[in-house]
Amino acid sequence: MRSKPSAQSSGEHAPWWLKLGAVGALLFLHIPLALIFLYAFTTDESGYTFPPPGLTLKWIPRALANPDMQAALLLTVKVAAVATVAALILGTLAAAAVYRYDFFGKETVSFMLILPLALPGIVTGIAIRSAISLLDIPFSFWTIVIGHATFCVVVVYNNVLARFRRSSGSMVEASMDLGANSFQTFRYVIFPNIGTALLAGGILAFSLSFDEVIVTTFTAGLQQTLPIWIFSQMLKPRNRPITNVTAMLVVVITAIPILIAQRISARGSDSEGATK
């Protein structure tokens, strides 16, 4: 705690150039996202004219009705859902094993789980692509899911392991001591306590998968997930207004769950803090 000096009392004042730099960086981070929202309503169909010549709502229903977009969205949601379920199962199992038991190579397991997220996406992508080529596996829904689940596991793992470490270690023992077997203990004690961690981890995994484009490029073949569809629209713009609206849609779809997940994690640590 001592290393987190409270700011108001620190008496450190900010020189003007520091404030300017900070505000500048914030604007730099947020103006582009704001423009996404602006352009979703532009009347300009053939370019990115600024300021927009006019504003309209007409592209929103048209984008939502666009069959290509719909197909891509559906595929993306399906992939993300299945990958999230796989990540939840694998991540929770790994977290439970690492938390509950001491075994040789424990650190290696954590390291291996983080690797797909730590290495550049292209490495994971080309690696899986190599395996697909080597084994002559046809591209399919499942090749996408396998790639996504692999880098989503670590998100669930981290969330669940952190929750395990924060909750009282003797809780499981207490439950068994009171007559509950392992399955009852999981149902009545472990699950209620890691529930929010699973939810937060699951949401993060879902958005990670929903957004992914680099690994997907190598595992999708000719299938198009929503990010890949947007990418292809950027390479060869055919339908700018619809792409504009879709971009906004994606921001909204991913930002809201992330905000919820962050609130869940924050609340989890708050209530834990209160019991200490």
Partner 1 sequence: MFQRISTYLYLRPRLSLALLLLPPLVWFLVVYIGSLLSMLVNSFFYLDGFTGQVVRQFTLDTYAKLFIPTNVQILSRTLFMALAVTLGCIVLAFPLSYYMARIASPRMKTFLYLAVTLPLWSSYVVRVYSWKLILAQEGIISWFARLLHLDGVLNWYLSSPLLGGPSLGISLTGVFLVFVYIWLPYMILPIQTALERVPKSLIEASSDLGASPAQTFRNVILPLAFPGVVAGSIFTFSLTLGDFIVPSLFGNSSFFIGKAVLTYQGTSGNIPLAAAFTMGPIVIMIVYLLIARRLGAFDAL
Partner 2 sequence: MSDQAAVEFQNVSRVFSMQHGSEAGAVKAVDNISLQIRDGEFFSLLGPSGSGKTTCLRMIAGFDRPTSGRILLGGKDVSDLPPYERDVNTVFQDYALFPHLTVGDNIAYGLMIKKTPKAERRKRVDEMLELVQLAGFADRKPAQLSGGQRQRVALARALINHPKVLLLDEPLGALDLKLRQQMQVELKAIQQRVGITFIFVTHDQEEALTMSDRIAVFSQGKIEQVGAPAEIYEHPATAFVAGFVGVSNLVSGEVAKRITGSEAMFSVRPEKIHLGATGGEDMFTANGKVRDVIYLGLYTRYLVELDGGGDLVVVEQNLKTTSMDVVKIKGQPVILSWKKEHIRKVGG
Q: Looking at 79, 82, 90, 200, which residue binds partner 1 (CB under 8 A)?
A: 90
Name the minimum Å distance from CB 166 to partner 2: 10
| Two tokens, residue 255 | 């930002």
Closer Cβ to partner 1, 17 or 273, answer by number:
17
Helix axes 141-166, 106-118, angle to 10 degrees: 130
Per the CB < 8 A criterion, the answer to whether 147 and 216 are in contact is: yes
Selection from partner 2, partner 1, none that 170 binds (CB < 5 to 8 A by kind) is partner 2
Name the minimum Å distance from CB 30 to partner 2: 38
Q: Looking at 12, 181, 235, 238, which residue binds partner 2 (CB under 8 A)?
A: 181
Number of residues that bind partner 1 (CB under 8 A): 95
| Two tokens, residue 203 | 């949401």
Within residues 157-176, the interface with partner 2 by CB under 8 A covers 167-168, 170-171, 173-176
Cα–Cα distance for residue pair 25/218, rounded to 1 Å? 34
Closer Cβ to partner 2, 58 or 187, answer by number:
187
Cα–Cα distance for residue pair 208/215, rounded to 1 Å? 12
Name the minimum Å distance from CB 206 to partner 2: 25
How many CB atoms sit inside 10 A of residue 98's CB?
A: 20
Q: Is 81 helix (H, G, I), strand (E, B) or coil?
A: helix
Closer Cβ to partner 1, 193 or 233, answer by number:
233
Name the minimum Å distance from CB 160 to partner 1: 12
Closer Cβ to partner 2, 32 or 179, answer by number:
179
In the block, tokens 């292209």 appear at 122
Closer Cβ to partner 2, 149 or 172, answer by number:
172
- DSSP annotation of 212 reads -
Q: Is 25 helix (H, G, I), strand (E, B) or coil?
A: helix
Within residues 191-210, the interface with partner 2 by CB under 8 A covers 192-193
Q: Looking at 93, 110, 139, 196, which residue binds partner 1 (CB under 8 A)?
A: 93
| Two tokens, residue 70 | 């719909």
How many CB atoms sit inside 10 A of residue 54's CB?
A: 9
Cα–Cα distance for residue pair 248/41, rounded to 1 Å? 10
Query: Strands (DSSP E) along 135-219, which ranges?
Result: none
Within residues 71-130, the interface with partner 2 by CB under 8 A covers 102, 104
Where along the sequence are the contacts to partner 2 (CB under 8 A)?
102, 104, 167-168, 170-171, 173-181, 184, 188-189, 192-193, 271-272, 274-275
